[in-house]
Structure 1
Amino acid sequence: MESKTPSVYTTLVLVTDQFECERIIKAGRVIADLSKTSYAVLSVMHTGARTNPAALEHLFSVAKEYDAEMTITFSDNPKSTIMHFIRDNKVINAITGIPGGEDSILVKMWKKLLNVTFFTVGRNGELHEVIDREYHPVNINI
């Protein structure tokens, strides 16, 4: 019988307080399984920010369903908080939504955390590895 030893490495999903982040949690489970890593979900919001408690509760339930530990925290410096979490939890894969622009925290992390493999999940759930670590605007035809 094969014993399951927890991995020392982690796959991390970064979410906001939006219902749509469910797709990111689902995609992250795939990467965690493929890489045989532990699985965590993190939501870091600015201190004092107004949140959507119903969406956070929903995401917490989805994380539980996909066997992920979810952490919700508030910070005056979300980028620093995320980077410390990545370092402290030996994150090797990070899955996010699509960054809002070139000045996004996500793009800055892509360029700084070269030992982490980043993936983005589009609105339709398509998963893409961030290869060149540069921001490329997504053209949306409606």
Structure 2
Amino acid sequence: MNNTIMVCVTQQRTCEKLIKKGAALRKNEGDELIIINAVNENDKFLNLQNDSEALEYLFEIAKEVDGELQVIRTKNVLDNLISFAKDNNVDYVILGHTNEENKVNVFYEKFNEKLPFTEIIEV
């Protein structure tokens, strides 16, 4: 049985560790690695050269690990990511953790609530 692994990233270069964690979860040749960058449609997107460089970097890392990078704009990032995971029968979701002390990762909580049969991994 093949697995689908979804890695949720921003345009930050620090997301490489999330992508590599997702790649490491592959057990079979047919396992699918989807790297997804969802941006709120009201936020500025690729407005600075640094943003485009970071996005290009994500494309390169995705290519290195034979993953598929998808970039989407949406009104509600969290709901869209959850719908994407459901629609694509995702087995694993990789998320970054919050660096703020005593702050709950809302994405982690919602993914666990809405996707009870998907393993959510916070890196």
The normalised TM-score by structure 2 is 0.83
- 1:32 partner SS: coil
Unaligned runs of 5+ in 2: 46-50
The structure whose residues are more often helix, as a share, is 2
Question: Aligned partners of 2:31 and 2:108: how far apart in 1?
Answer: 21
CA 64–73 in structure 1, closer or farther in 2 if over 3 Å, else same: same
TM-superposition CA deviations, 1:48-105 (whole Å, max 9, x none)? 3234221111011101110000100011111111011101111011111104632622
Match of 1:12 among 6, 13, 22: 6
Unaligned runs of 5+ in 1: 1-5, 122-142
TM-superposition CA deviations, 1:21-52 (whole Å, max 9, x none)? 01110111011237962111011111132342
Tell me the amino acid that sits aligned with residue 108 of structure 1: K
Q: Hey, what does 2:68 align to over in structure 1?
A: 69
Tell me the amino acid that sits aligned with residue 22 of structure 1: E
Greater C-alpha radius of gyration:
1
Q: Hey, what does 2:110 align to over in structure 1?
A: 108
- 2:15 partner SS: helix
Query: Between Structure 1 and Structure 2, how many residues are aligned?
Result: 115
Higher mean C-alpha displacement, 28-37 vs 45-54: 28-37
Structure number with higher relative contact order (C-alpha < 8 Å, ≥ 6 residues apart): 2
Match of 1:44 among 38, 41, 63: 38
Contact 2:92/2:118 (<8 A) preserved: yes
Q: Hey, what does 1:27 align to over in structure 2?
A: 21
Identity %: 27
The normalised TM-score by structure 1 is 0.73
- 2:20 partner SS: helix
Higher mean C-alpha displacement, 41-50 vs 59-68: 41-50
CA 70–24 in structure 1, closer or farther in 2 if over 3 Å, else same: same
Question: Aligned partners of 2:77 and 2:108: how far apart in 1?
Answer: 11
Asked whether 1:78 is paired with 2:77, we answer yes
- 2:25 partner SS: helix
Question: Aligned partners of 2:70 and 2:53: how far apart in 1?
Answer: 16
Name segments (4+ residues, structure 1) moved above 4 Å: none
